[in-house]
Structure 1
Amino acid sequence: MANDAPYVFAVGIMGNLVSFCCFLAPVPTFYRVCKKKTTEGFQSLPYVAALFTSMLWIFYAYIKTGEILLITINAFGCFIETVYLVIYITYCPRKARFFTFKMIFLFNVGVIFLVVLLTHVLAKERTARIELLGWICVVLSTSVFAAPLSIIKVVIRTKSVEFMPITLSLLLTASAIMWLAYGILLRDIYVTLPNFVGITFGTIQIVLYFIYRKHRPGKDEKLAEQKDNATNEENANTTVSSENHAANSGGFVDIEIGEKKEDKKVEEAQKKQEQAENKTREASSQLQHN
């Protein structure tokens, strides 16, 4: 088989290593969640989607047979994303918990069952089954790259890369490059196409970072942008994470955007409280002097 060649196996191992790092990126976030016993307002959908795509690629590798490197990294993805979701469900508000359970049932149970059913009903031969399942993987994996469009739009309009971590963008782009090379060496178009899209969006984000990294928008500009684009910025919470849904890149990202905003709101509230206390002390001091 093609992946028996040493250089193909080596590229696959490198892809596994980079994707492994990407999958572990949210660990600090969930450590903080466990410590504070709150999810701080960030969303579970990226983790549900990551679990879904990992399950999908494991099924593809199983049908194709011999794709042990796809199975290993996506099996780890299924494990770590399940851990993330368990932690999230434990500490999230009731409404978010209900939404998360609904998304898990819809994607990780319903859609996966539908895909398995379609591949066995519509394709009787193994070759036809691989082709059908491969294109399903391509469509679903590529479609998640719509999410980075949100953060790219926010970066361009605000001229700020505050909510676009460059380290994670670099990791995800490197992962996509490894798996693109792996797909090309295997002559597997279903692995190649989604990662080509991943490299494209990753490159755009890296270029934008270096263009706007020194720009610091004023407070008024930030407030106006947040007010006018509240919906876009909420969607941006799933930005970088969605990139890693590319075939086999598997890596997931720390969803810091919503958390940073919450932290800013808390800091602003604390500053206002401190200012009010200072004014009260000054007034008391004046009264005592009088």
Structure 2
Amino acid sequence: MCFVCCICSPTFVKICKGKSVAEFKPDPYVMTLLKCAMWVFYGLPFVKSHSILVSTINGIGFVTEAMYVTLFFVHSDWRKRVRMIYNLHVHYFYLHDFSIKRALIVDVGLTLLNGLFIYLFFWVQSNVIKTESVKYLPFYLSLANLLNIGTVWVCYASLKFDYNVVASNAAIFFSFLEIDCLNSGLFSQIYLLTSSL
């Protein structure tokens, strides 16, 4: 999770240098912040026993994303600020709905957030197709997402057999598509290289 959060730093260097968020949207950063917060909550011993590693890793991601969202908030106009505050408040009230089945509630929330990430993926794909530019789809962010979901969390869920982690990270297929959609066409090039042998 940490390397996924750190990949976004060039975007925020541009924002700080330009003193404006320009065409950047806060949605992926707010959603990642909320997702990290829910994973931290999920990993606490009173929600899911023996999952403190989930809390630790996502706690680092939460702090990093909180810094990004704060920078975005400082350099954005009032409409984007209101939208960010609204999204954060909805999440805050959702987290405080305590129940006997806390892990299930958090899992449903994480699955919904992953659904929003998939929607965001298709929105980015449509921008790439419309503009015929991969400016909106950075390769290293896509690769970091693939490694994060594909290796780290799927392996962790397999070892611990935590079906909540598996269900929430089942979007690995979309990470493969995202990388293939890039101009480099990584999987397309591999196919062409192997077919010419």
Asked if these proteins are the same fold (TM beyond 0.5), I'd say: yes
**Greater relative contact order structure (CA < 8 Å, 6+ sep):** 1
Correspondence for 1:171 among 141, 144, 152: 144
Identical residues among aligned pairs (%): 24
What do the CA deviations read for 1:76-100 (whole angstroms, capped 9, x no partner)?
A: 1221111112212212122222222
Residue number in structure 2 paired with 1:161: 134
- Say which of 78, 86, 92 aligns to 1:94: 78
What is residue 194 of structure 1 aligned with on the other side? 168
Gaps of 5+ in 2: 190-197
Secondary structure of residue in 2 paired with 1:65: coil
Q: Is the 8 A contact 1:160 1:212 kept in 2?
A: no
1:24 matched residue in structure 2 = 6
Which string of whole-angstrom CA distances, capped at 9 and with x for unpartnered residues, describes residues 24-63 of structure 1? 1222222222222222232222221111111111111111
Alignment partners' CA distance in 1, 2:135 and 2:11: 17
TM, length-normalised to structure 1: 0.57
Equivalent residue letter for 1:44 = P
1:53 paired to 2:26: no
Counterparts of 1:134-283 in structure 2 under 5 Å? 134-156=107-129, 160-177=133-150, 178-197=152-171, 199-209=172-182, 210=185
Deviations 1:156-211, CA, capped at 9 Å, x for gaps? 566653432222211110110121121121111110122221x1101112223317
Residue 154 of structure 1 deviates from its aligned partner by 4.0
In the superposition, relative to structure 1, how do residues 186 and 33 fare at CA in structure 2: closer, same or farther (>3 Å)?
Answer: same
Q: Counterparts of 1:162 and 1:28 in 2: how far apart (Å)?
A: 13
**Which of these residues, 20, 25, 39, is aligned with residue 21 of structure 2?**
39
1:66-85 residue pairs with structure 2 within 5 A?
66-85=50-69
Shift of residue 70 of structure 1? 0.7
Contact 1:183 1:189 (8 Å CA) reproduced? yes
Say what the alpha-carbon RMSD is for the aligned residues. 2.5
Distance across 2 between alignment mates of 1:158 and 1:30:
23
8 Å CA contact 1:38–1:91 kept in 2: the answer is yes
Note the C-alpha offset of 1:133: 3.3
Distance 2:23 2:63 in 1: 23
Corresponding residue of 1:112: 95
AA in 2 matched with 1:48: V
Instruction: Name stretches of at least 5 consecutive residues in structure 1 with no aligned partner.
Output: 1-18, 215-290
- Taking the aligned partners of 2:108 and 2:86, their CA distance within structure 1 comes to 26
CA contact (8 A) 1:180 1:192 kept: yes
Q: Higher Cα Rg: structure 1 or 2?
A: 1
In proportion to residue count, which structure has more helix? 1
User: TM-score, normalized by length of structure 2?
Assistant: 0.80
2:26–2:72 CA contact under 8 A, matched in 1: yes
Task: State the number of aligned residues.
Answer: 184
